[in-house]
Amino acid sequence: MIMGACSQVTLVVSSVFSAKALVVLHGVRFVVDLGFRFVVLESDARAVVQKLQTESNDFSEISALIWEAKGLSRAFLECRFAFLERSGNWFAHAVVQECILRLEDGFWVEEALLLATTLLAVDRRLFNPP
């Protein structure tokens, strides 16, 4: 299993809802660019994940972002969008906190920040206790 993470600085976003959808779109673009073929994208934005999982048309403020993410996801042999509660994804939040401090884009594949790696190990133990 290969894991990747990215963080991109975005200065103007119209709402939190749009920001959550933009995060997912950045993630899809990131893994398309890396050439991954089997992907599970996790988000703590339940409404965004539900919109990505449905086949019906979306007419919300994030419809263009959802449409683009769905279109890009067709490049994979398998792509799943999964909801993960915020408390269950310490890794993503550790990466974001580090990037906010540096105010620059960050991309990691296979290697991750020491803090994020430590938190990921804790995160995994919560789901798969020894």
pLDDT tens digits for range 4-51: 677 777 777 889 899 999 989 998 998 899 898 999 988 889 999 999
Candidates 96, 91, 120; CA nearest to 106 is 96
Please list, in sequence order, all residues whose beta carbon lies within 8 angstroms of the beta carbon of residue 39, skipping any fewer than 6 positions away.
31, 73, 76, 78, 79, 80
Domain containing residue 47 = 4-127
pLDDT of residue 117: 64
Decide if pLDDT at 81 tops 70.
yes
How many separate domains does the chain show?
1
Instruction: Indicate which CATH number applies to the domain containing 91.
Output: 3.30.420.10
Q: Which residue has the higher pLDDT, 91 or 64?
A: 64
